[in-house]
Structure 1
């Protein structure tokens, strides 16, 4: 593994514990545009815009801010940017993010804006693992491009472009963190300058972080890592796995990490076995985490795989994991995951099939039949998957249970939960996620921070969370997150959010069990 020469562990500790409320960011640009809009969403009331072509920006001015971002959007104004002052600010300990044009010009390197039309989707390959690229491994390749029209790329992805620096010179102070798959040019560079740093990155090519974007999904992730340690636990998973390959990945984790166990829970509706990953002693209070009970809501599976990896490798998760018995079922509907359907192999909506309030639950169809959207089966727990999950709840009586879904951001507790404890968990989750990630809400919704601010009234339905509440679960919650994207797989953001939510529930359940 390469590194940039920086004390990575020290950087990670500093970034992960940073009080983002103390940030003060200066955007030096010739027009505010989308960078200012997005930065205001990510760091509300902490971003100041200054037109460098019209206003003085000497070192004394820059030194009033914790971070400076330069963004030349009109090349005719390039000479008006005093990059010497920016560099001196960095030398004195300041933190700088720059677009590639002004940085290349300052270093005397060749800048390129490369159009590929529709031949390929330009990407960036990660070259170094450090605090800026946290969440990614060397060799990970992520889409990084925009289009001439600036339209969301999956809707209009011809005339694609990407910016690079073609002739960077690496030395003890300068490291290429990411290279272009188009021409091997540098897309992301870190330079250590005196007591500070400069992150040079192609910010202008990718569009906004559109809901299903391929080219801009991670646009603000690296600046977020640089500014405030956005990624804490997340990990990029580059490939969407079949169910059999997913089980292979689970088995590999269990074989690699002492204390992590792979348990066969029995066959599902298509005959293949379902599995959990376990950690901790069974006589401890149990927490249960599951995903993909609706098979087409698959992204959160990777977050639970990452959660198991954190437990197995002894990562610092802010609590002693041995206080609990962890039961993790990343894939609760194997056939649905494999075939990208909501239902299982017999057409049952599993989260309408649990033995709680099923008869009263409405199923408005002219003739209810398998494969209907909410088809709840012929009787309570008629599906094999439901029987297996109910069996785990019956056996271990979890103090906390989280069922991860994807549709929109909301936390839904079950009726009968410990409402005070759920409120405490909800407040903690909101705090954990604040000012870290930018996204667009599903279904062409508003641009916003990734958050779990919304909480629904306690629900009463044939859901797994309600079945768990009947059996004494204090924190039975369903989590809806942004998802159902194509071709983005397990993103670092999604996996991080799943881990944060899971760890919040686990830590508060552990505390409640000691009382």
Structure 2
């Protein structure tokens, strides 16, 4: 009952938006049945030549006229509408592109629908494609559903075929809005008090993290705090005399305040001191850089995810110093010391005030929270934690474990919760290692299969899955996951060899995520190592046959379970263009797409305002969210095998780091996405 109620609450906004979409169901296309001449509404994107023809027929279509794409020889032929920016759809809308297709093309032909979402400068934001029709077919309706991404100015519809010769006819094309955008919950209002300029990079980063919720007001503190959820106080100089009593009154009533340590010290009549916390130079080892920071001595929202005694990587740039309180401040009445510098000085403190609290540490000395800046990776984590959105589930790993170390971690977890978690051996890997899984829930219930590291170098989400199992066993997800209604199999590292060697492939040079039997024969990868042949150790070498690799056979055994209901496949990349995204399985149940977008919505509502990070391919730090959801293509990925006719998706997260310094963020995000899975894909009623 608890799970059902929670799911109902989280789905409420989506359902209301769905009801509102009825009025939006009209066809957005002109001349959709080709009863009039093709041009100018429909444009021949590939002009007619010796290889192709594009024309209208007055009869022979499904309901009268039709549009014909004819390839005299194998060619890529396309007809489109919207090139004149005439089709506008509000960002966040769920749309469906549908068309009836009859093909007389040869067996090599691939016929699809495609939707281009374009920005103001004619840049492509997304270009989802429908499931293909291969070769010939009688009249068949093809559908493509997608969500219009942010910043979309206009969309274009494409009818297209490639690779084959012959004729294909299209009729009754429709582009309709199936669901209006779901309104976003507005971000909490954070009052900013500062003497820094608006162009200061710390202020700019805070604006990215808190979005439009960050409000600058230094002239009237009482008015600014009257409707705020929190306050951010960043001063290099002296604080205005009227500010401190207003902040205390705000906290007394339950408000949350974060102050840079300099401002906090001055509010108590002292000056902060600069303490050395460790080296930050690029030439140091990763472990040495991870040792530069504050040692956690008390748990709290600002230190969530770090265990007592762990070092929170945090150091000023370029001197490795942080602003801290004098040592004697530990004895101040009401001060809680959360983390200390190597010399014992308070470096992260919390002062309870009435129903609220004031939290402080050095923020202004830190450089950009970039994915390779160990010392600043968690620059804003204490800030978001103190102001109301702390790490919920993540945990910090002090080092990257050996494969045997990961298995031992799984074994200890199962031993700690013997009535909840079962450790099971799944089979042998290509390097002789054994593959292990953690199993929870009711044996005969619908099965959720969560796995990671089919590409061994993409290891961090696997740690997140172990953390998710731990949080389930601790009961921290009881309001979402009812272990009496589901069975969960968690396989953190599918590719032990790739994990140990930090490689994509298994020990035989095979890309395990091209080992499925879905369209394996049609798939052709590339000769990435330039040795003249597509084969072992090429980027996406698919092996000699589907499931030729022992790891893939382990996977096949698991997904052959008739109770399998849903799967979640985690991958990773260090470039922002290649993570923060999901692919819903091409082969899955038709409702899979809707559920994938609901997972995105639930995840982002929780993560918004929590983690700030700049990755490769980004010019500035951004809030870490699940930004994009696409359809997988017809290729032999493992999820296209396992989710065939069922439910499932693949998620790419920030990963492939040389050490474990990013694991607090990575495990937290992984757990949030797993949590969202059980809300967006609830188990069937039994």
Instruction: Give the TM-score normalised by structure 1.
Output: 0.87
Does residue 325 of structure 1 match 2:487? Answer: yes
User: What's the counterpart of residue 25 of structure 2?
Assistant: none
User: What's the counterpart of residue 275 of structure 1?
Assistant: 436
Q: Distance in 2 between matches of 1:42 and 1:184?
A: 31
Q: Which has the higher contact order (CA 8 A, sep 6+)?
A: 1
Q: CA deviation at 1:43?
A: 1.7
**Of 124, 129, 136, the match for 2:306:** 136
Q: CA deviation at 1:444?
A: 4.3
User: What's the counterpart of residue 156 of structure 1?
Assistant: none
**Of 537, 541, 544, the match for 1:378:** 544
User: What's the counterpart of residue 464 of structure 2?
Assistant: 303
Q: Distance in 2 between matches of 1:478 and 1:417?
A: 12
**Of 227, 232, 238, the match for 1:69:** 232
**Of 535, 538, 543, the match for 1:369:** 535
- Which runs of no fewer than 5 residues in structure 2 stay unpaired? 1-183, 574-578
Q: Is the 8 A contact 1:214 1:487 kept in 2?
A: no
Does residue 341 of structure 1 match 2:506? Answer: no
- SS of 1:211's equivalent in the other structure is coil
Q: Is the 8 A contact 2:450 2:465 kept in 1?
A: yes
Provide Cα deviations, 1:91-112, integer angstroms capped at 9, x if missing partner.
4443221111121123234521
Q: Distance in 2 between matches of 1:47 and 1:337?
A: 41
User: What's the counterpart of residue 25 of structure 1?
Assistant: 190
**Of 538, 560, 569, the match for 1:394:** 560
Q: Is the 8 A contact 2:566 2:643 kept in 1?
A: no
Change (3 A) 1:65 1:340: same
Q: Distance in 1 between matches of 2:192 and 2:597?
A: 37
Q: Distance in 1 between matches of 2:399 and 2:348?
A: 23
- Which runs of no fewer than 5 residues in structure 1 stay unpaired? 1-18, 149-158
Structure number with greater Rg is: 2
Q: Distance in 1 between matches of 2:433 and 2:603?
A: 35
- SS of 2:302's equivalent in the other structure is coil
- SS of 1:290's equivalent in the other structure is strand
Q: Distance in 2 between matches of 1:417 and 1:445?
A: 36
Q: 1:114-125 residue pairs with structure 2 within 5 A?
A: 114=275, 118=281, 121=289, 122-125=292-295
Does residue 161 of structure 1 match 2:321? Answer: yes
Q: CA deviation at 1:200?
A: 1.0
Q: Is the 8 A contact 2:469 2:490 kept in 1?
A: yes
Change (3 A) 1:81 1:216: farther
The more displaced of 314-323 and 337-346 is 314-323
Does residue 461 of structure 1 match 2:626? Answer: no
Q: CA deviation at 1:88?
A: 4.1
User: What's the counterpart of residue 11 of structure 1?
Assistant: none
Q: CA deviation at 1:172?
A: 5.4
- SS of 2:211's equivalent in the other structure is coil
Q: Distance in 2 between matches of 1:21 and 1:57?
A: 23
**Of 406, 415, 440, the match for 1:246:** 406
Q: CA deviation at 1:420?
A: 3.0
Provide Cα deviations, 1:150-179, integer angstroms capped at 9, x if missing partner.
xxxxxxxxx333221132233552111011
User: What's the counterpart of residue 263 of structure 1?
Assistant: 424
Q: Distance in 2 between matches of 1:486 and 1:80?
A: 47
Q: Distance in 2 between matches of 1:84 and 1:106?
A: 10
Provide Cα deviations, 1:159-203, integer angstroms capped at 9, x if missing partner.
33322113223355211101113x222111000123431101111
The more displaced of 341-350 and 191-200 is 191-200
User: What's the counterpart of residue 587 of structure 2?
Assistant: 416
Q: Is the 8 A contact 1:177 1:189 kept in 2?
A: yes
- SS of 1:283's equivalent in the other structure is coil
**Of 40, 44, 56, the match for 2:207:** 40
Q: CA deviation at 1:478?
A: 0.7
Q: Is the 8 A contact 1:410 1:453 kept in 2?
A: yes
User: What's the counterpart of residue 284 of structure 1?
Assistant: 445
User: What's the counterpart of residue 378 of structure 2?
Assistant: 218
The more displaced of 326-335 and 128-137 is 128-137
Q: CA deviation at 1:373?
A: 1.2
Q: Distance in 2 between matches of 1:505 and 1:79?
A: 48
Q: Is the 8 A contact 2:374 2:661 kept in 1?
A: no
Does residue 406 of structure 1 match 2:584? Answer: no
- SS of 2:404's equivalent in the other structure is helix
Q: CA deviation at 1:318?
A: 2.5
Does residue 184 of structure 1 match 2:358? Answer: no
Q: Is the 8 A contact 2:457 2:498 kept in 1?
A: yes
Provide Cα deviations, 1:102-138, integer angstroms capped at 9, x if missing partner.
2112323452124567586431111111233222211
Q: Distance in 2 between matches of 1:106 and 1:428?
A: 39
Q: Is the 8 A contact 1:170 1:176 kept in 2?
A: no
Q: Distance in 2 between matches of 1:488 and 1:265?
A: 26
Q: How many residues align?
A: 477
- SS of 1:456's equivalent in the other structure is strand
**Of 602, 622, 626, the match for 1:452:** 626
Q: Distance in 2 between matches of 1:514 and 1:335?
A: 40
Q: Distance in 2 between matches of 1:81 and 1:244?
A: 58
- SS of 1:323's equivalent in the other structure is coil
Q: Is the 8 A contact 1:425 1:505 kept in 2?
A: yes
Structure richer in helix, relative to its length: 1
Q: CA deviation at 1:281?
A: 2.3
User: What's the counterpart of residue 498 of structure 1?
Assistant: 670
Q: CA deviation at 1:505?
A: 1.6
Structure richer in strand, relative to its length: 2
Provide Cα deviations, 1:415-434, integer angstroms capped at 9, x if missing partner.
13233333333333333333
User: What's the counterpart of residue 6 of structure 1?
Assistant: none
Q: CA deviation at 1:445?
A: 5.1
Change (3 A) 1:160 1:282: same
Alignment root-mean-square deviation, CA? 2.3
Provide Cα deviations, 1:429-462, integer angstroms capped at 9, x if missing partner.
3333333222224444542211112011232211
Change (3 A) 1:462 1:397: farther
Q: Is the 8 A contact 1:211 1:444 kept in 2?
A: no
The more displaced of 372-381 and 111-120 is 111-120
